Amino acid sequence: LQNITDEVMIHEFTVQKSGQPAYSCQNIIGKINTTGTNIIILGTHWDSRAVAEKDSFNQTAPIPGANDGASGVAVLLELARILNQSKDEINAQVWFVFLDAEDQGKSRGSYGLQGWRWCEGSIAFNNDLGSFYNPANQSIECFILLDMVGGTYLKFVDESHSTNKLQIAVFNEGRELGYTEQFPQKPKSMAITDDHVYFINNGIPSVDLIIDFVNGPWTHHHKHSDSLANIDINSLNITGRTVESFIKTYYTGSDMPDWGKASLNDMWKQWLWPVLLIGCIGLVFVLLIKFHQK
């Protein structure tokens, strides 16, 4: 990473749960165009699950994580190499963020590490975000998360926490490159707690490029079969080319796109009054019907 970016930072943090040992963790940040006032963050997690709770054997042994972990790392490293070569064309800083401690939360009654939350690295990173740049004269434009992007049968879902306008733009970019199967017109909708949620809560427009790992055709989530045997190099290529094309479409001109700044909490507020209004109208109709029945 030091050879293909302008600057590398190590963000150290500790995770310790009640009655458990303390674990030292590291988020790794590579940057190009470090003097830019606008910042694009590309992210992935680099840890892999410490248990295989979905497997039928060796459930307490760690998984390889070829897709759930390593695929995003591979694409991000290649994006760093390619974008570094053309960084003079890009009108923004680009950060390549490798998040630790994402995949150790509770699933099917089992923790990866006892008591850990999902996305510990993203939580720590966002808590300390102001120390990585100057918020007074720099702004973070968006965050694109890559999670399980290298498996066979790649097909991205409509992740419902993601910033809608940003997600549409990324999906359209993929379709325009001819990847209509991987970026379908009517993708399956799923709400997934992933690293991007904590960027959204920090007011950063974010999108999660992720598959249906529950009922989709790639059936190796949190299993020992999440290995190189179930990786498709075409999936890695499609993901990387789409993100590269997105950056060159939106961040090589003079204008910055506006993706919106809504947080998850803001989304609830946006829907609160319409829901209350509909409820009140419904109540009035019920009362009128009962009145006429009398």
State the DSSP string of 56-102: SS-TTSPP--IIIIIIHHHHHHHHHHHHHHTGGG-SSEEEEEEE-S-
**pLDDT score of 260:** 85
**pLDDT score of 186:** 97
Give, for 282, the enclosing helix (H) or strand (E): helix 264-293
**pLDDT score of 112:** 98
Report phi then psi at 190, rounded to 5. -140, 145
**pLDDT score of 283:** 72
Instruction: Give mean pLDDT in consecutive 10-residue pieces for the chain, a chain of 294 residues.
Output: 98 97 98 98 99 98 99 99 98 99 98 98 98 97 99 98 98 99 98 98 98 98 99 99 99 92 49 56 65 54
User: 7-262 has which fold?
Assistant: Aminopeptidase (3.40.630)
**pLDDT score of 254:** 86
**pLDDT score of 166:** 98
Q: What is the distance between the alpha carbons of residues 153 and 143, in angstroms, rounded to a whole number?
A: 25
**pLDDT score of 292:** 55
Which sequence spans correspond to the domains of the chain? 7-262, 264-294
CB-based contacts of 127, cutoff 8 Å, min separation 6: none
**pLDDT score of 204:** 98
Q: What is the distance between the alpha carbons of residues 25 and 13, in angstroms, rounded to a whole number?
A: 5
Q: What is the distance between the alpha carbons of residues 290 and 178, in angstroms, rounded to a whole number?
A: 58
* Contact predicate 50/101, CB 8 Å: no
Give the three-class secondary structure for 199: helix
**pLDDT score of 272:** 45
Total-model pTM: 0.90
Give the three-class secondary structure for 229: helix
Q: Which amino acid is at 60?
A: T
